[in-house]
Structure 1
């Protein structure tokens, strides 16, 4: 897991100088985590609307300061596959992981799959696409439309007016 975090940090640093696009993110995830399965923002939103009592376990793998700004309803903030495995013993339980753009959560999805979990999905384009579409998010103060931009490179993928480094 430390390798994935280091890789994400280096990639973010480099892309901060050269810019980033969704195509770059998608290609990087597909290259590094080819076995990870995805769920789209639209498909997860449909589940929220049509089956709110039967949602998968939703895990936000971002840091606590990012989670404090905004997160999906019902999301739990758990950073690693090992930590998730302590919460979920049934390896067939449906789990959706997300982060800002889907890279960190792809690493956690791959980690869970290596631990034997069989129904793990990574939210494609994660919270940034969710926020850009104006879908509901929350924090301790209630509903919010803001999202932590993570860094300059990744933050370029979400509307600037949605950026916030602190909960509001």
Structure 2
């Protein structure tokens, strides 16, 4: 259902109705079922979290947070997480481009019994906007960030925007 809402909202925003702030955008899509963690809180030395990237593999390969585990969104498999994270009280921070897909994945983790799940406010876009490093598929720092789409890329202010390749039937 959330995918349908995202698609409809994207069409509406392309028609000229766009969000004024990131906060308004996230309020539109998220119900705060997963609490936010800010970038500033995450980078504090005492914050020891497992990072889960709720974007697709093609996005993760372009750019991701250091040591993040790609769990995807469209084909998310809870077993990927349960096999790697046995301690259900461990702090888990889920992120995506802005914090919308990551809330959905965070809710699934909470339903599976994980008790300390948080959603990175503003996702990888805000991470990069705050001048923190992102890494490519070779785990080397990069200025490139997968922009998800041209419309959503307006939220990415720093870095080089990399857009998805068009599908063969889109040409």
Q: TM-score range by the shorter chain?
A: 0.7 to 0.9
Which of 119, 123, 127 is the aligned partner of 2:124? 127
Q: Distance in 2 between matches of 1:5 and 1:90?
A: 30
Q: Does the 8 Å CA contact 1:81/1:111 hold for their aligned counterparts?
A: no
Once the two structures are TM-superposed, the CA of residue 81 in structure 1 deviates from its matched residue by: 6.3
For 2:23, the equivalent position in structure 1 comes to 23
Residue 65 of structure 1 is matched in structure 2 by: 58
Q: Runs ≥4 in structure 1, deviation > 6 angstroms? A: none
Q: Distance in 2 between matches of 1:161 and 1:56?
A: 25
Bigger relative CO (Cα 8 Å, ≥ 6 apart)? 1
CA contact (8 A) 1:59 1:77 kept: yes
The Cα shift of 1:161 comes to: 5.3
Which consecutive residues of structure 1, in runs of 5 or more, have no partner in the other structure?
none
Q: Is the 8 A contact 1:16 1:152 kept in 2?
A: no
1:162 aligns with 2:160: yes
**Is the partner of 2:155 in helix, strand or coil?**
coil
